[in-house]
Amino acid sequence: MALPTLPFFRKAEPPEMPAIEAASLRSDRFRLERQTDWERLEAIVTRLEKNRPGGISDADLLDLPVLYRQAASSLAVARETTLDAATLAYLESLVRRAWFQVHGPRVGLFGWLRQFFGGGWSAAVRALWLETCIALAVMVVGTLVGYFLVARNSDWYYSLVPGQFADQRRPGASREDLLATLATEESANGLGVFAASLFSNNAGVAIMAFALGFCFGVPTVLLLVYNTALLGAMWWVFQQGGLPVEFTAWLFVHGSTEFYAILLSGAAGLHVGRSMTFPGDRSVMQALSESGRRAAVVMAGVVIMMVLAGLLEAYPRQLVGSVEGRFAVGGGMLTFWLVYFYLFRRRAAS
């Protein structure tokens, strides 16, 4: 039977350590146990940031991902145990810098531009060949629908064509009135502002054609049909006025680039919509992520094409008056795009 211990024989208990002092000791111990690895990681990251990888040993390069994960784990622990603010700030900065070296992009702006124009853009366009064919078929059908609707009943023209285009270009207009809308400008003054407004309008159509693809591509098809029905309706008006060739040349100057850009943006939207509808063996999110990255490359190029289309529409179309000259400009641009997209097969860097 154990006898109770008398109070004056008990061992004296140590005084209770203040909470702040205990936390400080815990933080110091945590940091000292891992500081060597943190300093090693920081030295590697600093050399990489200064673009001096030659001074890094093979062992350090091989251990870089491991050190990064250890630092990230230390940061998570530090956040949970509420270590001192200085340690948290140091770890957050170190992990962020290391992330860019381990997972961040390896190329700068000029490197990305070199890859983009050196084959990345054209490869992304070729990858969308099926959607490009579908979008082209939809645009052809839309043009025919607009043409035959107005040919059957000219009242359709006012439903299809916005008011700003239906000034003198309307059913029943004389040949002279229609020809006046195809005339050139005497100088280039003010055409820069005109080009900017055209870019804004055209880019809006292209972005909508792409963005609506996320609704399984159906709104993209409807938008392509509507915009090309407008084209068919206007072509009927000029054909009735005896100016089909002149109108085609006038449109072809910038249309070969502008409509090509709208075609590609529609194809990009359909590509995203198709991947969501038919993801195959992948999850919907995975399919959407892959198609979204490919379509984003195409859309980056579409923006460039829209800028060029705006400049072509503002300057050559307004300054070049001959039918032959307009066909030459438009035909040259179309040839350039076809060669660049489908014959330029330089392998894009990964």
Q: What is the pLDDT of residues 303-345, one digit of tens each?
A: 899 889 888 887 888 788 788 998 999 999 999 999 999 987 7
pTM: 0.69
pLDDT of 292 above 80: yes
Does residue 128 contact residue 294 with C-beta atoms inside 8 Å?
yes
More confident residue, 328 or 4: 328
pLDDT of 199 above 80: no
Mean pLDDT of all residues in 94-122? 81
Q: What is the pLDDT of residue 301?
A: 92
pLDDT of 163 above 80: no
Does residue 273 contact residue 217 with C-beta atoms inside 8 Å?
yes
Q: What is d(CA 140, CA 29) in angstroms, rounded to the nearest whole number? A: 73
Closest CA to 345 of 121, 131, 112: 121
Q: What is d(CA 202, CA 240) in angstroms, rounded to the nearest whole number? A: 27
Lowest-confidence segment of 103-117, 118-132, 147-161, 284-298 by average pLDDT = 103-117
Going from the C-alpha of 325 to that of each of 289, 318, 329, 330, the distances in angstroms are: 44, 12, 6, 9
Break the chain into its structural domains and give their ranges: 20-104, 112-343
Grouping H, G, I as helix, E, B as strand and the rest as coil, residue 187 is coil
